[in-house]
Structure 1
């Protein structure tokens, strides 16, 4: 009987330690439960899982969480961008699964509304091209707004090729001389002979 008394004594002692620890554990779990937010978690799924785990742990220490309280805490921990969905969850008295589904749908909608990083890249470009892409107000413009639309090099790329620039300058000079000669010939008929 002595061994039974010792085993019983040890059991009672362990039970007292556990029970005193149980209340402290319940208080700690309750604090974690009410302070958990989506911002503190890596994802919506992680947030929901942590809430559910804390509710299960509270039940293990005789502090059960009802489904309606679990949904209320789920909504309370959401950031402002979920306000509309949170109001809808509260007004429809959604259960846990409905609330989670509504939040997942809202998260998909929010992600779809965010601008694509590739559109930012497309929207930005070299600053020297903005003047080339401005529509021309010349009446002889045949729908072509810039040399880049014709597949021609821009003036900035011609400046980087000195030989091409010299040739273009010579051509421009020759063209101007030919125009002058034509004008002189037209205005001075004696020069034709």
Structure 2
């Protein structure tokens, strides 16, 4: 069928007949309207089932807003509450706490406020993961030192024993060497007179 002002369109009674510009326009409009309805159904299905996957919050929300803008361009405006609901529905389980918090707010936050709250939650989770990673790294790095320290038996000196020995040797020299000089000086006398009887 030619669409140059006058063309041919199907006719129920006479095979084909010449069409006026008005009839051709009506045909084009009908085709466009059918395509529009099909496009609306497709975009509506897309926005209802979009999910975050591995995307960031910014990319995820931009995807939802892009679909909403396409619907708006063909005459279908997505209500603000629906945008928020679609956004929450597509989040992963790790956002469960913030999802519940937003859903219980009265009134429900706007789409942009919802995005801002999700960005804060995403940033907080990233910081927590970094702290856990750093803590785990420190623990593993110190483990060999701890194990090595536990394997080596500590050597403990007892200064009290040395004092007691000096006291015994210096003042009394043991049980048989009585007197004040029996320790140091008695030992010297024994070395000078090895044949001397006790």
Q: Is the shorter-chain TM-score for this pair beyond 0.5, marking a shared fold?
A: yes
- Determine if the alignment matches structure 1 residue 47 to structure 2 residue 63: no
DSSP 3-state at the match of 1:64: coil
2:149 aligns with: 133
1:101 aligns with: 116
2:35 aligns with: 21
CA distance in 1, matches of 2:155, 2:47: 72
C-alpha RMSD of the superposition: 3.2
CA distance in 2, matches of 1:126, 1:112: 23
CA shift for structure 1 position 57: 1.3
Structure 2 gaps, min length 5: 7-18, 158-189
Report the TM-score when normalising by structure 1: 0.61
Alpha-carbon deviations, 1:49-86, whole Å to 9, x = none?
A: 11111111122333321011101111111111111111
CA shift for structure 1 position 3: 5.2
Equivalent residues in 2 for 1:1-193 (5 A)?
Answer: 6-39=20-53, 42-92=55-105, 93-115=108-130, 117=133, 120-124=136-140, 131-134=147-150, 138-140=154-156
Structure 1 gaps, min length 5: 142-188
Report the TM-score when normalising by structure 2: 0.60
**Alpha carbons of 1:3 and 1:17: their partners in 2 closer, same or farther (altered >3 Å)?**
closer
Tell which structure's C-alpha radius of gyration is larger: 2
CA distance in 2, matches of 1:37, 1:27: 18
